Amino acid sequence: MNLKGKKILVGVSGSIAAYKAALLVRLLVKAEASVRVVMTDAAKEFITPLTLSVLSKNPVLSTFSDAQDGLWNNHVDLGLWADAIVIAPATAKTLSKCATGNCDDLLTAVYLSARCPIFFAPAMDVDMYHHPSTKNNIDTLESFGNSFILPDFGELASGLIGDGRLAEPEKIITKLSAHFARKPVAVTKKVLITAGPTVEPIDPVRYISNRSSGKMGYAIAEAFAASGASVTLVTGPTDLKITDATIKVVRVESASDMFAVTSDQFQQNDLVIFAAAVADYTPKFVADQKIKKQGHEMMLELEKTTDIAGTLGSTKKEGQLLIGFALETENELEYAMDKLQRKNLDYIVLNSLNDPGAGFAHDTNKITVIDKYKNIQHFDLKSKEEVALDILNIVLAKWSEA
């Protein structure tokens, strides 16, 4: 989550979906954002200002002045205060007013005064959403540089089924978080990441593999994509799902498959992270039919697979960064440093099976990062998502230096 300390202004307009604004505000506060709420008069027909005031821990505003105490609610100050404005729900009327500059309430005045990114989350009936006038207003607002969090498909208040349901608050939070995660230094970068195990077939039903879950590589892919980088993930077999639709996912099975895909794309990328647990050996002969059990012993002849990181590291281009992983059980630093040099890497991420909670299958990891100059950084046990952010920050710092 990248919302801690961010100032978010939530605009609420008059829709039955306004009740979801309560959960949105609650989630923003939980993410440690500072939240202000501006409502239209119509919105107050669906949810009370008191509810949103209690949840946001700030007064809720809807008029230019407070008749009780005579205070002026300065729309310019509100627009300049916010790091981002999200109008949720955004009705067809509100979209039209913002698109045409029809500034007749506090919310539209704040919108016109803002210099920060604006996010609209539309909510309306399906025919209203698809009407040419609404589509034209959305196109106009997008041409101004505003962003849209598209509505969901489902049953609407009218009883019709279609587009128009306000995006769930969790989806809005994800969109805002992704916005603040973007780093200018990362948006022009291309990143190639390998993840998961490989499987080496013995016969049509049996194979050799390892205990890698792919969780670390997937977390790294999500972190770099959120930063704005263009990410390709080459993954061995795993049940994991990618949540960021911008990540290009290429699924492979064996070490030779992974080498073929990775080597084909290697030169196109500014950063390559070898997080996959690639099999070191593969059966020399693969049976066409299932091998039947015979006798008390079976001899399986193996041959080395291609060392993907080592082979590609020898062709590293100038300015390209390579990061490898080392999972060790003894002489950890010695083996990791040797691997770092042999494979021509810029960094190696070491984790030890001797550390509880680290290594395969866990949701946590404890890493040590060593660079090619033998500088060492130790990190505490963290979730793999947090570890991915540590790795991201190391790379961002390196890119910023350049």
Which residues are CB-contacts of 67 (< 8 A; sequence separation ≥ 6)? none
290 is in an annotated binding site: yes
Q: Write out the DSSP string of 300-325.
A: --EEEPP-HHHHHHTTPPTT-EEEEE
| Residue recorded with tokens 């960021």 | 244
Query: Which candidate, 390, 36, 69, places its Cα nearest to that of 224?
Result: 390
293 is in an annotated binding site: no
- Distance in angstroms (rounded) separating the CA atoms of residues 279 and 200: 7
> Alpha carbon 295 to chain centroid distance?
52
Q: Are strands 7-12 and 84-90 parallel, antiparallel or unpaired?
A: parallel
The neighbour count for residue 81, using CB atoms within 10 Å, is 16
Task: Assess contact for 195 and 238: CB atoms under 8 A.
Answer: yes
Sign of torsion over alpha carbons 58, 63, 69, 70: positive
325 is in an annotated binding site: yes
Task: Assess contact for 348 and 323: CB atoms under 8 A.
Answer: yes
Could you give the count of Cα atoms lying within 13 Å of 166 in the half-sphere of its Cβ?
29
Residue 74 bears catalytic tag = no
Q: Which two tokens stand for residue 229?
A: 């980088």
Q: Which of 2, 74, 210, 344 is catalytic?
A: 210
148 is in an annotated binding site: no
- Residues annotated as binding site for CTP? 280, 290, 325, 339, 343
Catalytic residues: 210
- Residues annotated as binding site? 280, 290, 325, 339, 343
